[in-house]
Amino acid sequence: MEQPSSLYFRYTALVLLVLLIAGLLFSRALLSILTGAGILFLFIPAFRRDFIRVCKKPLLYTVAGISLFYTWLLLREPDMYTVQRFFFHLSSISILCLSGYLVAGTRWCIPVLLSLGVLSTLPSLYDMLLHEGLATLYEKGQVAYTLMNGDHQRFTIWISGCLALAWYYGLMEHKRPAVYFILYFSCFLLLLAVRTGWLFVLLISLAGGILFLLRQGKRKYVYWSLLLLLILPALFYTIPFARKKIQYMQWEWREQRAAEKLGGSDAVRRMVNETAAALIRENPAGLGVAGAAAKLEERIKTTYPDSRINYQWPFNQYLQWGLTAGWVMGLVPVLLLLFLLYRLYNTRNYLTAVWVLFIALTCLYESTPEMQYGLFLSVFFTGMIYLYEREVS
C-alpha cells in the first residue's frame, strides 16, 4: 500500500501502533475500543480506495465464510449469544483495517513494533532471573508472564508474530538490525515460552532459511540446512530448561491419572477434547454456540466428577467448529483455511502462508480464534505480513 506523504498520517499511525500494543499487553478494554474503531478508517476515501484494491479478495472470503458459518448457526440457535459471536468474528475486518492503516501510515511501523516486542519480554526475564519462587513453574515448562493478564499461550503468539516480522524485515528489506531481532525472539521463544514458541521457531527458521538461500542462489545449501534442522532437536534437548519442559510433558502423558488430579496442561486438554469428540459423535448436526458450551461443561462435570476443570469450549478449534456447527458445516472454515493457504502459496506470499499455517497448527491444541487475544493476533499479523509481502511480490 502507498505511503501517505502527510506527517499527520505518519504520526497518527505510530501513536495508534503504540496504543494497540498497550491495549494488547495491559488492557482488554482499550484493545476492544481500538479494534472496533478500526472500521472507521474506511471512511477516509484515499485509504478505502487503496485498502479495497489490495484486500478485496481476502475481505470477500472473510465476510462470506463468517456469514455462511453463522447463518447456519443462527438457523439452529437464533439467540443473542450467537449474534454476539458473529460480530466478534466479523471484527476481523476492522483488525485488517488497523493493519492496513499502520502499514500505509509509516515506514517506522516494523522497527517500532519489534522494539515494543523486546520491551514486552523484559518482565518475563525479570521473573526468571530474580524470582526464585517461580522455579516450579519453569520446571513444568510454564512461564509466569505478567503481561496480557498472564495469558502465556497468547503472549507466545505475540512474540511469534514479532519474529515473523523480523524475518520479513531481514529477508525482504535487508535491514541489518533484523538479525538481532531474529536471534533475540528465537532465543526467547525457545527458552522462556510455551511449546507454541518452539513450533513457530522451527517453521519460520525452515521457511526463512530456505527463502534466504534461494534468493542468494545457493540452492545446494538448502539440503545441508534441512539436515541441520534434523540435528537441532537433539542439541536443544541438552539445554537444561528445555529438557525439563520435555520431561514434564512426557510425564503428563505417561502418568495420566496423576496428571489429571494435578490439573496438568496436557491432561486437561485431553479430558476436554475427548469429551468434545464424544459429543460430536452423538450430535452430527451440531449443538449451536450456547448449546455446545452448556453441554460440554455439563458432560465434563459428569465424566470427571473429581476434577476441577470447568471449560465451555474444546482445546481444539476444529473440534469447536464440529461441536457447534456439525460434521458438514464444521468443515466450511477448514476448507476456507486450505483455500487461503493455496492462494498464498500461488501468489508467493510465503511468509504469510507460514504464519497462517502456524495459527492453523495452534488450533490443534487451542481454540485460538475463539478468544479476544487469539483472534486479534491471528488476524493482525496475517494482515501485516500479507500487506508488506504483497508489495514485494
Could you read off the pLDDT of 258-281 as tens digits, one per residue?
555 555 667 788 888 989 999 999
Higher-confidence residue: 215 or 168? 168
The pLDDT confidence band at residue 39, using thresholds 50, 70 and 90, is very high
The model carries a pTM of 0.89
Percent of the chain with pLDDT over 70: 81
Flag whether 264 is in a domain.
Answer: yes
Per-residue pLDDT at 10: 75
* Residue (of 111, 89, 112) closest to 20 by Cα position: 112
Flag whether 278 is in a domain.
Answer: yes
Flag whether 167 is in a domain.
Answer: yes
- Please give the Cα distance from 197 to 393 (Å, whole number): 28
Residue numbers of the domain that contains 278: 255-329
Flag whether 130 is in a domain.
Answer: yes
The pLDDT confidence band at residue 202, using thresholds 50, 70 and 90, is confident
Same domain (yes/no): 125, 141: yes
Same domain (yes/no): 219, 285: no
Last residue of a domain, one of 311, 329, 347: 329
Q: 385 near 358, Cβ under 8 Å?
A: no
Flag whether 367 is in a domain.
Answer: no
Q: What angle do CA 45, 51, 57 make, to 5 degrees?
A: 135
Flag whether 51 is in a domain.
Answer: no
Flag whether 346 is in a domain.
Answer: no
The pLDDT confidence band at residue 163, using thresholds 50, 70 and 90, is very high
Same domain (yes/no): 226, 290: no
Per-residue pLDDT at 313: 83
Same domain (yes/no): 131, 237: yes
Same domain (yes/no): 165, 224: yes
Please give the C-alpha separations between residue 97 and each of 2, 46, 166, 262, in angstroms, as whole numbers.
Answer: 14, 13, 22, 43
Same domain (yes/no): 117, 208: yes
Last residue of a domain, one of 276, 309, 329: 329
| Residue 241 predicted with pLDDT over 90 | no
Same domain (yes/no): 169, 185: yes
Number of domains, the chain = 2
Same domain (yes/no): 226, 282: no
Which range among 170-179, 262-271, 291-300, 338-347 shows the weakest confidence by mean pLDDT?
262-271
Same domain (yes/no): 275, 238: no
Same domain (yes/no): 121, 162: yes
Flag whether 66 is in a domain.
Answer: no
Same domain (yes/no): 306, 225: no
Same domain (yes/no): 217, 273: no
Q: Which one of 3-7, 125-129, 236-240, 347-351 scores highest in mean pLDDT?
A: 347-351
Last residue of a domain, one of 254, 274, 289: 254
Per-residue pLDDT at 140: 56
